[in-house]
Amino acid sequence: MQNLDIRRAETRRELRQFATFPWKLYKDDPLWVPPLLKDRMKFLDASRGSFFEHGKAEFFIAWRNGRRVGTICCAIDEKANQTVNKKECVFGFFECVNDAEIAQSLLDQASLWAKVHGMESLYGPFNLDYEDAYGVLIDGRDRPPAILCGHTTAYYREFIEGYGFKPARGENLAFARDLNSGLDEFEELNRFAARVNERKNFTIRSADLSHWKEEVDNVYELINPCLAHLPGFEPWQPEALQELMAPFVDLAEADLILFAEDRGKLVGFFPALPNFNEILIHLNGLRYPWDYLKALRYARQKPKSASIKSVLVLPEYWGSGVAIMLFAEMIKRLRAAGYEWVDMSLTSDDNPRTPALAERVGAQVYKRYQVYRKIL
């Protein structure tokens, strides 16, 4: 490989080169949503990034003839590994030009790094956070991703699978539902929810954003028992959930964060957030001072879509109808707030319940992602 060099990014300048490589790669891709560069730099900083409180990571740039041609991150989530007693290296920020040799060299670097650190497998791609840019986009290139969903080039799948990676679990699906069509389906959903309400004692309440930390603690009481049935499930730690959801308090609309209770017992959680990727796609990651002028203009623009990232119902309440009540109430509130469509992402196609619920309300898959594992 002519003049190809993989070097670790350590200084602030090098980390900025690492962080800004996607601007070079996706500059002509209208579907790519630039991350906020300031937030990304904080995320990569070992002295400030939340991941480094429970793990370690190193960042690498591939150079050819003095030009950046790819990046990869190698990380060990020590708390997650300890929880499930495994030795796994997470790789992420995997980006490269369309060159199989460069992709192989980056993955070779990740494999070597993992072995040197005593790891037995590679898992990814994730951008350190398991919920950030999950997997490789394998289908759905007709619209930009919703918040927390990634966007990758079409050739990454071939590179990763060609290196010997196998799907770690089923495909992860993003569903979309137009809120101004198929109204008969909504009426049927409302009738079903009303029948459940007549027979049960479920109540639906909005989140209390003034006590957000306590509300996240409530979610923690649900998340592990609600998701434990999924293949490859890894238990959430309370600190990790607080880290993930802390920024949402500034983004959320209280009426779109729903909790279900049965005589005061918390049994379900169903949140929706404005899809701010509709705004971020215009802001260039606030990379330059003039980008802030765009931000002033777009700050007054309300997203046309909202994004639902989770539906949690305690297993003993599956089949009770409480999930239908949550869906019906959410759709009513989204339509009243003027949203035109809703994204529901991501759920695995090997999840026995959530895809069926999405399809029941008339949602259709519009993106598919795949996450991979390779035994070293």
Contact 128, 57 (CB under 8 A): yes
Q: What is the DSSP letter of 27?
A: T
Residue 371's Cβ-count burial label (10 Å; 0-12, 13-18, 19+) is: buried
**Category of 294 on φ-ψ map: left (φ > 0), alpha (ψ -120 to 50) or beta:** alpha
State the Cα–Cα distance between residues 14 and 19, nearest whole angstrom: 9
pLDDT the model gives residue 352: 67
State the Cα–Cα distance between residues 50 and 72, nearest whole angstrom: 19
pLDDT the model gives residue 257: 95
**Category of 140 on φ-ψ map: left (φ > 0), alpha (ψ -120 to 50) or beta:** left
Sign of the torsion angle spanned by Cα atoms 283, 364, 171, 222 = positive
How far, in whole angstroms, is CA 193 from its chain's centroid?
29
Q: Is 322 helix (H, G, I), strand (E, B) or coil?
A: helix
pLDDT the model gives residue 2: 65
Both structure tokens of 43: 């995320």
pLDDT the model gives residue 237: 79
Q: What is the DSSP letter of 85?
A: T
pLDDT the model gives residue 84: 76
Q: What is the DSSP letter of 317?
A: G
C-alpha distances out from residue 223 to 170, 229, 237, 269, Å: 20, 11, 10, 9
Same CATH topology for 4-133 and 175-370: the answer is yes
Fold of 4-133: Aminopeptidase (3.40.630)
Residues, the chain: 376
Q: Is 115 helix (H, G, I), strand (E, B) or coil?
A: helix
Q: String of b and e for 225-239 (b: at least 16 CB within 10 Å)?
A: ebbeebeeebebbee
Per-residue pLDDT of the chain (376 residues; tens, 9 = 90+): 568 999 999 999 999 999 999 999 999 999 999 999 999 999 999 999 888 988 999 999 999 999 999 999 999 999 888 877 889 999 999 999 999 999 999 999 999 999 999 999 999 999 987 777 889 999 999 999 999 899 999 999 999 999 999 999 899 999 999 999 999 999 999 999 999 999 998 999 999 999 999 999 999 999 999 888 777 677 887 877 887 788 788 888 999 999 999 999 999 999 999 999 999 999 999 999 999 888 888 888 899 999 998 889 999 999 899 999 999 999 999 999 999 999 999 888 877 678 888 888 889 999 999 999 999 9
pLDDT the model gives residue 233: 75
Per-domain residue ranges of the chain:
4-133, 175-370
State the Cα–Cα distance between residues 44 and 55, nearest whole angstrom: 12
CATH classification of 175-370, choosing from 3.40.470.10, 3.40.630.30, 2.40.37.10, 3.30.2130.10? Answer: 3.40.630.30
State the Cα–Cα distance between residues 98 and 103, nearest whole angstrom: 8
pLDDT the model gives residue 331: 95
Both structure tokens of 146: 């919703």
The answer to pTM > 0.85 is yes
Nearest to 77 by CA among 148, 29, 126: 126
